[in-house]
Structure 1
Amino acid sequence: MKLLVLILFFMISFKTYADSTCIGKVKELAIGRAGTVLIAGPGGLPSTYLCNVKLKHINVEPEACKAMYGQLLSAQAQELTVKITFNPAISSCSEVKSWGWATHFNWIIVNK
């Protein structure tokens, strides 16, 4: 019985801290003159700002933003699947604020 309770506790705890994942192809990728990176597509993600290549914003360093933009640009050109994770979890990829900042995004993963 104790083992069952312990297993359930870890399952609930893991789910609480698990990332939400938006998966799909990049339908839109842009960079503005101020350095803001915009993406749309994976998992129904609307046009949303990820980061800025010139300034630290939403806790993302410019160097990391440049690397992510390069990764996304390559994925779009090769029509590869992209995973964008959010932590804490979001309720739905399509509910991320359109033309707003994608706060709490965590990882950008490109799959073959």
Structure 2
Amino acid sequence: MNHLVKKIAVLVFMSFAVNVKAYDCTGLVGVIQISPAGVVATAVGNMHWVYLCSVSEVYNNVQPEACKAIYSTMLAAKLSNKRVVFWFSDNSNDCTNTAHPAWAPLQNWYWGPAIME
């Protein structure tokens, strides 16, 4: 009986693993801005005006200190004309505002930005 439970658990886990895919979106930082309230917004590649985080409060599951580092990373990429990459965990594999609407928190983002060479 215990062996059957393990098989079922593995099958359930595998079905979730198959349905959730990771992908990345890479592009130049077209815009990086911070609002008077501390919300950081950006345009990267084909994603325009997405909200990343806030330097003043937890926003989009990002702590303010992490947001300050994200803002600095984005600013460094913009000033050096380097591309950045973000990683996502959904099934869309879409690096446009269709999957990541403008004027809204960036969805399914789990890692980055990282500056590319």
TM-score scaled to structure 2, two decimals? 0.76
TM-score scaled to structure 1, two decimals? 0.79
1:98 aligns to what SS in structure 2?
A: coil
Percent identity of equivalent pairs: 28
Corresponding residue for residue 79 of structure 1: 81
The structure 2 residue matched to 1:101, chosen from 76, 86, 105, is 105
Unpaired segments of 5 or more residues in structure 2? 1-13
Distance between the aligned counterparts of 1:45 and 1:15, measured in 2?
26
Greater shift in the superposed pair: 77-86 or 13-22: 13-22
Structure that is richer in helix per residue: 1
Distance between the aligned counterparts of 1:16 and 1:110, measured in 2?
29
Structure that is richer in strand per residue: 2
- 1:17 offset after TM fit, Å? 3.7
Computing the radius of gyration from Cα coordinates, the structure with the larger value is 2
Corresponding residue for residue 26 of structure 1: 29
Cα gap change, 1:36/1:90 in structure 2, threshold over 3 Å: closer, same or farther?
Answer: farther
- 1:22 offset after TM fit, Å? 1.1
